[in-house]
Structure 1
Amino acid sequence: MKKTAFVSAGVGLVPLSSFAPAKPKNKLPAWKGFNLLDFFSHNPDQGRPTKPDYLKWIADWGFDFVRVPISYPSYLAFDRTRPILPDEVLNFDESRLEKVDQLVERSINQGLHVSLNLHRAPGFCINAGFEEPYNLWKDQEALDAFCAHWEMWAKRYRGISSKKLSFDLVNEPFQRENPNDQHSQGGPVAIADYRRVAKAALETIKSISKKRLVIADGNGGGGIAMPELADLDLSQSCRGYYPFPISHYKAGWVYKDPESVPPVAWPFQQGEKLLDIESIREYYAPWKSLIDQGVGVHCGECGCYNQTPHEVFLAWFGDVLQVLKEMEVGFGIWEFSGTFGILNSGRKDVAYEDWYGEKLDREFLDLLRSQI
């Protein structure tokens, strides 16, 4: 009786805060790494092959993630001297598909999680430069082709664990007034249309590979969280490009007259508002809300174009990474080598380190590794 009384009394000594609900954790691992652009172009002859050493360096530096954005025409066989026809969008070229297989295998062998993404899907791409035969968000024929592509990938990689490979349905849903004009106005895809497309592709994949992890990009170019999809077995992917005038400073595919863009600094003056780390926290609040609802979140793309002054870039991006870390959200820098990358970025205000013949931005690399 004395022992029972002691134990009972002890319970009363435990602070009430100990029984508070645990803070929701992000369901997705906080993978950190890079996008690989081998199949980013619709023209397979314009791909940017990932050197074998790149994957080794990514892993050796402590990263564990690569996202592979793919333009579907890059693995098809058709007459490239003219626009693709509807009856050609399923002309899978086995020899080209095997090149994707090789990159996936090489990445997994280095211990990297691979996120396979359709950057250009039948009937949609946020980038111009290729004439689609229909509209993914409106045409059933396009949706059927979209699902057929994901059926092919699901069957092809059915034997690979979801811990090693995930599918990212379609890059940055967006509705542009003129899909063939990169500078034409646009905005988010209608929620009903996005949900219909995502749900159909998800069901196609799950019918073949029930445990496959599937990710949906945020709406409106990747930045808008989608609570309307929270009831589906989908994780979601945000972007790390806020504020856009800093991340895409003087980018030619964004601005018609890049040289007329005014200088940028961080914190950033936008109208009457001064944007700082608190502004970044506000921007990501809807994504934090998704995590709190039990939806996994990852930042599939982030980084900065090489025209932003290096000092401004590092100060701003350090804050972005800090906020992502607070939410336990991982990231994928848009590229490893190139204008957004840690290698060969072409910045004019960086003292590059010679890294086995490559130009390494050591300050950028150190910033990223500080988050691992």
Structure 2
Amino acid sequence: MQNDWTTNRRKFLQKSALLAAGTFALGNQPTWAQPTPLANPLPRWKGFNLLDFFAPDPANSRPATTEQHLKWMADWGFDFVRLPMAYPSYVSFDRSKPIQVEQVRNIDTQATDKIEQLVFLAHKHGLHVSLNLHRAPGFCVNAGFEEPYNLWQDAQAMDDFVFHWSFWAKRFAQTSPDKISFDLLNEPCTREDMNDQHSKRGPIPGELYRKMAIQASEAIRAANPKHRVIADGNNVGSNVIPEITDLDIGQSCRGYHPGIISHYKAPWVFKEMDQLPEPKWPGQVGNQYLSRAMLETMYEPWIALTKQGVGVHCGECGCFNKTPHAVFLAWFEDVLDILTEHKIGYALWEFRGSFGMLDSGRDDVAYEDHHGYKLDRKLLTLLQKY
């Protein structure tokens, strides 16, 4: 038995093919005979990114997510968490030196047990978990770790990438697709210099993206053919991936547009902080007018994708803590409203921290004490609305 979004998508494609054949043979059909576009085949999951395993070195990991945190998420009405993982965080090697190719598969089972424990704690509280390789063998959108090869150029890197997904798929082979999904690779892109956070980026050639998606998804579904697979948009999550729409793979967009709002004064994005125009929403910012209309245009290809029978979810969204809070909330409500209108779920980056709902460190928020944490009640209320 296939999962719902796969089954619905297949029925849609079959129906479309039959209708197309009939149109070719018989000419134009009456409007009632045209295929009805599907709703988004992926569930409208709503929740958070958890950064417990985000750092390549566990010594630099964020404060651990507790069972109490997961309970709060569920009690507040959320049903989804995404775990962006750096593969070096659960691999054994000499951390005083760059990792070597022969060390990439040295799985540290004590570390993977911790990941598994968090997954099952989330399941205990009714939360779907999306495992994501944020740093994969040979690629990460972020600098800060020296890779021994390039995922897009070296066959060994791709083999090791597939090995890691095979490991996780087998680990959760008996877990229902209603409870777990596999998000292949965070924000694929090219970069002139992988060690320079500010170097120019661009989209991965479509045939390379397809090759990666096929190899990884086949390895995942070898462990369980029902496993649900998701691929992040090309070009740092911003572009639909037309090359994989036939592969029964969902696609993940982002809620960060425009960057002058979502990443205002984020040091890993902007070098010249003093030259940045003050963010407004809506309003004139620098040489462009920012408005809901620009968001609607940006999301048009993603909305069209759902109508083709491909599932879409917004795997990351949110705003760095230097953007004025009122501007953030006004912009973010438009983002959430557009996504919700088209039945696209979302995951805030992050639960705790500078983008988060707890302890975000904003200067212009009257925080509410919540069991010793600083809760952004206005943000929580907005999220609950959508």
1:181 aligned residue (180, 193, 196)? 196
* 1:336 partner amino acid: F
* 2:204 partner amino acid: V
Secondary structure at 1:207's aligned position in 2?
helix
What residue in structure 2 maps to residue 361 of structure 1?
376
Which deviations, in whole Å up to 9, do the C-alpha atoms of 1:71-95 show, x marking residues without a partner?
A: 0000010000010000000000010
**Residues in 1 aligned to 2:34 and 2:105: alpha-carbon distance in whole angstroms:** 53
> How far did 1:33 drift?
0.2
Secondary structure at 1:320's aligned position in 2?
helix
Q: Is residue 2:233 matched to residue 1:223?
A: no
1:45 aligned residue (54, 59, 67)? 59
> How far did 1:260 drift?
2.8
TM-score normalised over the length of structure 2 = 0.90
**Residues in 2 aligned to 1:260 and 1:97: alpha-carbon distance in whole angstroms:** 44
**Residues in 2 aligned to 1:133 and 1:17: alpha-carbon distance in whole angstroms:** 57
**Gap change, CA 1:274 and 1:260, over 3 Å in 2:** closer
What residue in structure 2 maps to residue 9 of structure 1?
none
* 1:113 partner amino acid: H
> How far did 1:17 drift?
8.0
1:137 aligned residue (135, 149, 152)? 152
> How far did 1:46 drift?
1.5
What residue in structure 1 maps to residue 314 of structure 2?
299
* 2:119 partner amino acid: V
Gaps of 5+ in 2: 1-29
What residue in structure 2 maps to residue 33 of structure 1?
47
* 1:22 partner amino acid: T
> How far did 1:21 drift?
4.6
The structure with the larger Rg is 1
> How far did 1:154 drift?
0.7
**Residues in 1 aligned to 2:157 and 2:32: alpha-carbon distance in whole angstroms:** 53
TM-score normalised over the length of structure 1 = 0.93
**Residues in 2 aligned to 1:293 and 1:21: alpha-carbon distance in whole angstroms:** 10
Secondary structure at 1:173's aligned position in 2?
coil
> How far did 1:218 drift?
0.1
> How far did 1:273 drift?
4.3
- Whether the 8 Å contact between 2:37 and 2:308 is mirrored in structure 1 is no
- Whether the 8 Å contact between 1:138 and 1:193 is mirrored in structure 2 is no
**Residues in 2 aligned to 1:301 and 1:326: alpha-carbon distance in whole angstroms:** 18
Which deviations, in whole Å up to 9, do the C-alpha atoms of 1:148-170 show, x marking residues without a partner?
A: 00010011110100100000000
Q: Is residue 2:342 matched to residue 1:324?
A: no
What residue in structure 2 maps to residue 12 of structure 1?
none
> How far did 1:275 drift?
2.5
Q: Is residue 2:74 matched to residue 1:59?
A: yes
* 2:49 partner amino acid: N
**Residues in 2 aligned to 1:264 and 1:271: alpha-carbon distance in whole angstroms:** 9
2:266 aligned residue (237, 245, 251)? 251
What residue in structure 1 maps to residue 178 of structure 2?
163
> How far did 1:271 drift?
6.0
> How far did 1:292 drift?
1.0
- Whether the 8 Å contact between 1:218 and 1:238 is mirrored in structure 2 is yes
Which deviations, in whole Å up to 9, do the C-alpha atoms of 1:108-163 show, x marking residues without a partner?
A: 10000000000000000000000001110111000000000001001111010010
**Residues in 2 aligned to 1:112 and 1:18: alpha-carbon distance in whole angstroms:** 40
* 1:24 partner amino acid: L
Which deviations, in whole Å up to 9, do the C-alpha atoms of 1:199-223 show, x marking residues without a partner?
A: 1101111112100000000000001
**1:180-329 equivalence runs, <5 A:** 180-269=195-284, 273-329=288-344
Which deviations, in whole Å up to 9, do the C-alpha atoms of 1:238-259 show, x marking residues without a partner?
A: 0000111100000000011223
* 1:301 partner amino acid: E
Q: Sequence identity, in percent?
A: 55
- Whether the 8 Å contact between 1:26 and 1:294 is mirrored in structure 2 is yes
**Residues in 2 aligned to 1:300 and 1:179: alpha-carbon distance in whole angstroms:** 23
**Residues in 1 aligned to 2:138 and 2:274: alpha-carbon distance in whole angstroms:** 33
What residue in structure 1 maps to residue 351 of structure 2?
336
**Residues in 2 aligned to 1:361 and 1:66: alpha-carbon distance in whole angstroms:** 19
- Whether the 8 Å contact between 2:129 and 2:180 is mirrored in structure 1 is yes
**Gap change, CA 1:159 and 1:324, over 3 Å in 2:** same
* 2:339 partner amino acid: L
Secondary structure at 1:263's aligned position in 2?
coil
Q: State the Cα RMSD in Å.
A: 1.3
1:348 aligned residue (357, 363, 366)? 363
